Amino acid sequence: MKRQNHSVITEFILIGFSNLGDLQIFLFFIFLLVYLTTLTANATIMSVIRLDRALHTPMYFFLFILSCSETCYTLVIVPKMLTNLLSTIPSISFSGCVAQLYFFVGLACTNCFLIAVMGYDRYVAICNPLNYTIIVSKATCIQLVLASGLCGFLISVVVNILVFSVPFCASNRINHFFCDISPVIKLGCTDTNLKEMAIFFLSILVLLVPFVLIFISYVFIVSTILKISSAEGQRKAFATCASHLTVVIVHYGCASFIYLRPTSLYSSDNDLLVAVTYTVITPLLNPLVYTLRNKEVKTALRKVLSRYSFPKMV
């Protein structure tokens, strides 16, 4: 019977924006503009890092991977959301929902681990600069990136099994604009408390543990910076961490608000707003923060633009 009930639903209706009426057209153009800007900004960051040898360092290698991951992350959510904003019936197939949740969770977890790895990179660079190139070698960077991706997608497999092993026999209307964990699992017609508890502990592993490690790293970083005698040296040291700290606060703050609490506290209106922030706004924030607040990236960007935009006349 459970298998039969589970097979009843072949598609889900995403009703997150359905009550907005004509405002959906306005949101479509706003989100499309933000999405295109995000793609352009991340592509610019990746191109500048790839083309300027001065940025061929571990810090910018991790930023390159993060920008690539964020681009894929938006591809999983935003195009379907834009299509549904113009659709009479904003739907997604059952298999499409499974795939969307898998890649969304996998890439989101990967990003969390990558941001923690970037914190470790800053810790070694400031607290142990003499051994930095030895500790954070090219091989180590590749291993850390692969480990982040592997752990992220393994966790996503577990989450998908927990969510979609629930029989859906009551409703196929998801009160969200994409297939997120809580809105989907709430449609189950059996007791999901144990599954929700398991997902909650996985959320702690993905969000709280890396955040605590980042916090500890910055305790040591601040302690080391305060020991620098010159004010200019302190300013430069803090400047190298400012962009990363901004991303940490926004990324972990939004994700923790959604996932580090029981499903019973799910509030559709507030959570939709936060979900828009971490699926649409945050991927744009990363390249903007690292471009506007980072002197090396701005210098490299000017060099690349002058090299390729204004060829010398013969």
pLDDT digits (tens, 9 = 90+) for 222-245: 898 888 877 777 787 777 788 888
Identify the domain containing residue 114 by its residue range: 11-300
Q: Work out the mean pLDDT of the chain and round it to a whole number.
A: 86
- Residue 101 within any structural domain of the chain: yes
207 close to 259: Cβ distance less than 8 angstroms: yes
Residue 271 pLDDT > 80, yes or no?
no
- Residue 279 within any structural domain of the chain: yes
Ramachandran angles phi, psi of 87, nearest 5°: -95, 145
The token pair at 76 is 């999983």
Residue 6 pLDDT > 60, yes or no?
no
Mean pLDDT of 95-100: 95
Confidence (pLDDT) at 229: 78
- Residue 183 within any structural domain of the chain: yes
Confidence (pLDDT) at 2: 44
Q: How many CA atoms lie within 13 A of 174 on its CB side?
A: 26
Confidence (pLDDT) at 268: 60
Provide the number of structural domains found in the chain. Answer: 1
CA distance 64 to 80: 25
- Residue 1 within any structural domain of the chain: no
Confidence (pLDDT) at 262: 64
CATH code assigned at 207 = 1.20.1070.10
CA distance 309 to 27: 34
Over residues 186-217, the pLDDT tens digits come to 888 888 889 989 999 999 999 999 999 999 99
Whole-model pTM: value is 0.88
- Residue 64 within any structural domain of the chain: yes
- Residue 45 within any structural domain of the chain: yes
- Residue 137 within any structural domain of the chain: yes
Confidence (pLDDT) at 299: 81
- Residue 2 within any structural domain of the chain: no
Over residues 133-185, the pLDDT tens digits come to 999 999 999 999 999 999 999 999 999 999 998 888 767 888 889 999 988 98
Helix (H) or strand (E) holding 93: strand 91-93
